[in-house]
Amino acid sequence: MQTLLELSKNIQSEWRKSAVESRLSFLPQLAITLLKNKQEYAECITKEMHKPITQAIAEVEKCALLCTYYYENAAQFLATKHIKTDASESFVTYEPLGVILGVMPWNFPFWQVFRFAVPSLIAGNTVLVKHASNVPKSAKLIQTIFEAAGFPKGCYQDLPISSSEVAKIIANPIIKAVSLTGSEQAGIAVATEAGKHLKKCVLELGGNNAFIVLEDANLEKTVATAVNARMQNAGQSCIAAKRFLIHENVVDAFVSQLKTAIQELKTGNPLDNSTQIGSLARIDLAEELEIQVKKSIEMGAKLVCGGKRTEAFYEPTILTNVSAEMPVFKEETFGPVVAITTFKTLEEAIELSNTSEFGLGVSVFTQDIETIKKHISSFNEGAVFINEMVKSDPRLPFGGIKKSGYGRELSEDGIREFVNVKTVVINS
Which residues, other chains included, contact 60 with Cβ-Cβ below 8 Å and sequence gap of 6+?
Answer: 34, 35, 38, 41, 42, 45, 110
Nearest alpha-carbon partner for 219 in 245, 264, 243, 255: 255
Name the catalytic one among 63, 67, 201, 238: 238
The backbone region for 399, taken as left when phi is positive above 0, alpha when psi lies in -120 to 50, beta otherwise, is: left
* Annotated catalytic residue 204: yes
Taking the CA of residue 333 as centre, how many other CA atoms within 13 Å lie in the half-sphere pointing to its CB? 33
Give the closest residue to 340 by CA, choosing from 306, 380, 369, 390: 306
- CA dist list (Å): 421 to 20, 74, 318, 332: 16, 15, 48, 36
- Report d(CA 250, CA 214) in Å as an integer: 8
Spatial CB neighbours of 278, under 8 Å, sequence gap ≥ 6 = 50, 51, 52, 234, 267, 268, 270, 313
Whole-angstrom distance, CA of residue 139 vs CA of residue 132: 8
| 238 included as an active-site residue | yes
Catalytic residue among 204, 288, 331, 409: 204
Q: How far apart are alpha carbons 158 and 102 in whole angstroms? A: 10
CA distance 65 to 32: 10
> Kind of pairing, strands 81-82 and 89-96?
antiparallel
Residue from 180, 207, 240 nearest 400 by CA: 207
For 286, residues 6+ apart whose C-beta sits below 8 A from its C-beta are 279, 280, 309, 311, 312, 313, 314, 335
| Catalytic machinery residues | 204, 238
